[in-house]
Amino acid sequence: MTDWRGILKHEVIRTHLPLVLIGSASVALYRSAMDARDTITHFLSFVLAQVVLYLLAVWIIHRARSSRSTLILVIAFAAIFRLSILFQPPYLSDDMYRYIWDGRVQGAGINPYRYVPADEHLEFLRDERIYPEINRSDYAYTIYPPLAQFIYLIVTRVSQTVTWMKAALVGFEIIAVCALIALLASFGWPRQRVLIYAWHPLIVWEIAGSGHIDAAAIAFISLALLARRYKHDALTGVALACAALVKLYPLILLPALFRRWRWRMPIAFAVTFMIAYLPYLSVGIKGVLGFLPGYTDEEGLQDGGRFFALNLARWLLGETPVPTWTYGLLALAVLALLAVRALFRHQREPQDYILNALAIAAAFTTLLSPQYAWYFTWTIPLLCFTTFFAWVPVFYLATASFILYRLWINDQPNLDIKTGALLYLPAATFLVVAFLRRRMTRVRRDTVIYQETTIANMSNQNRNAFDESTLTALTDATTLAAHITVIIPALNEEANIADVVRAIPSEIASEVIVVDNGSDDRTAERARLAGARVVAEPHRGYGRACRAGVRALAPECKIAVFLDGDGSDCPELMDRLVRPIIAGTHDFVIGSRIRGEREKGSMNFQQIFAGRVAGWLLRMLYGVRYTDMCPFRAIRRDALDGLGMREETYGWNLEMQMRAAQERLRILELPVNHRCRTGGESKVSGNLRGTLLAGTRIVMTLVRVAMESRSEDEVAPPSATFQGRKIRK
């Protein structure tokens, strides 16, 4: 007999109560944010708290069982969120005043595309409440398409107030929510997943708060998705055309919603589009475009100043020109590829067409690189039909788009680059790892990585093998035969290099190789005087220097140790890294600065974050646990030779870690101490450009190495050589 009382109690505790607490806290934050609008930074602090609560609610909904009571709770709080800010004047945007003005102009029988608001022909329509708030009033014609104009006309026939316009747009949200619920039910999915849209802070702020017309576009997109679900091609075309007649960008969804050889949909789309423009053609075909050509120039779409990826490339390359057309071709190629994929790929699941639409919408918006957060709103309803972890990049973009409001702060250099980096680079990283994770699924099943737990599972005899007496015995009997060599890449480190070389324990390392990577100071001379063998590598690049050091290894060398020449690593801890290799339990030992003791200021946030992200990505790809890309590491010489290292710049360390995982080496990560560099400036973290260059190269290395990995059929079975792993030659 079913215990409905127990089920209800369980549902209340696990779902309803947390949602009530999250919803109540969110309402308080909406009210507090409206009352604290003195600075954009203050406002964004409240938004950050809302985002955290929202993501927690999404996680709860994904775990909850389907329930009508949960759906009611979700809808109730969605309504409360909107009501809490609906009656307040818009704070984040003044676009709504143009909506009301366009409706007023049409109500007077004038084509809204004919005059700018400041034109003397419209002087009789001006007032003290709406007209002074219109942006670009003295030079910009209206930019909004015909259906948006019709909505403005209808709404202003009832009332020409901000509150009424916002209420009408929230009404379109009701249509969108109903369509999304019906669509979820048709797939047999829990209807409460509509929370992903209805509770999203960006949706609430930009529609109920700022009253953006995007709400109408979202409503028609949702109706188009629903019509496509039931194969009503003509209705799909009409609904999608209506969405594009509100905001032009839904045009890009045509390939995703088109059923091959079913021409009713594109015909209905084209007919609806043409009919909508007919009433406004008195100003000519060019006239109905309104301010669109001027807007593309003003927003940097024509010269490329709007596009983050292009700006980043131009900034990094400095004097080297990067023409806008190259970025345009790349963007068109990406969108064309996604369109072809949507048209011709076999759909295995009923909701695949929505995922195709989401992929196209997200790619288009990212390539467009909008400077306004509300341009991301149209991707959010599509997220209701995805799994959170599979579409992390789009979730991140839609949720982190509030970062764009930092552009209101005009007194910081390179703010566009910094803000874009915070928004797009993490999303790109998440996208790459999501793609590579799917590609590596088969490889991971056959990949065996030995972790630090190996030591925990050793017998007591082996677990005690690393005491000081054993180290002495190993030093006497094994180390001399192993010929441990230390490789130090160095560039302009004359202040540090001699102390680093002298700090290397002579009883551990038989030779120190310092690779002078094109220094223009006395680095090479001081390293030689300190007792190191100096190798010249004039072509700069961290990876090139490391490869030069590897090529210089003596034939009898059995273990190679890498560390930096800036004095931040601790050579006195080298015995920790070489012991497991000497004992034969591991092949590759890497230090972790994150897990060790760090001197204050020795690592900045970017380095710590990058190490954590890289570790998470490699765990997703290979099942190996790294927490850092620390340069202080030791590896067997024969294993190093078998890795086939190719990276020439900052991605060397990451490539070694990835290839070690691919080759199924026995890997061990140990905590090591880290201190501030003793002189000079870091080439990676010393400035923003170095950080971005290093980050770019690391991401490129991640993609390249993962794409070169072998499929399951190519992975050879374990060999008896080197205790269960096989080295690829």
Q: What pLDDT is recorded for position 463?
A: 38
Q: How far apart are CA 100 and CA 97, in angstroms?
A: 5
Q: What pLDDT is recorded for position 45?
A: 86
Taking residues 556-579, report their average pLDDT.
Answer: 91
For the chain, give the mean pLDDT. 83
- Going by pLDDT thresholds of 50, 70 and 90, the confidence category of residue 530 is very high
Q: How far apart are CA 627 and CA 618, in angstroms?
A: 10
Q: What is the pTM of this model?
A: 0.66
720 pLDDT more than 50: no
707 pLDDT more than 90: no
Q: pLDDT tens, 304-327?
A: 888 888 888 888 877 678 888 888
Q: What pLDDT is recorded for position 610?
A: 78
Q: How far apart are CA 24 and CA 80, in angstroms?
A: 9
Among 395-409, 603-617, 646-660, which is the least confidently predicted range?
603-617
Cα–Cα distance list, 207 to 93, 116, 202, 203, 698 (Å):
10, 25, 8, 6, 39
138 pLDDT more than 60: yes
Residue partners of 293: CB distance under 8 A and separation at least 6: none
Among 161-175, 437-451, 701-715, which is the least confidently predicted range?
437-451
Q: How far apart are CA 28 and CA 37, in angstroms?
A: 15
- Going by pLDDT thresholds of 50, 70 and 90, the confidence category of residue 169 is very high
Among 120-124, 253-257, 549-553, 620-624, which is the least confidently predicted range?
620-624
**DSSP structure string for 262-285:** -THHHHHHHHHHHHHHGGGGGG-T
Cα–Cα distance list, 569 to 329, 500, 504, 593, 631 (Å):
45, 9, 11, 9, 8
Q: What pLDDT is recorded for position 453?
A: 38
Q: pLDDT tens, 347-402?
A: 778 888 999 999 999 999 999 988 899 999 999 999 999 876 667 888 889 899 98
- Residue 116 near residue 143 (C-beta atoms within 8 A): no
- Going by pLDDT thresholds of 50, 70 and 90, the confidence category of residue 410 is low
Taking residues 42-46, report their average pLDDT.
Answer: 85
Q: What pLDDT is recorded for position 10?
A: 54
Q: What pLDDT is recorded for position 415?
A: 62
546 versus 320: the higher-pLDDT residue is 546
482 versus 585: the higher-pLDDT residue is 585
CA 287 to chain centre: 39
Q: What pLDDT is recorded for position 679?
A: 64
Taking residues 46-61, report their average pLDDT.
Answer: 91
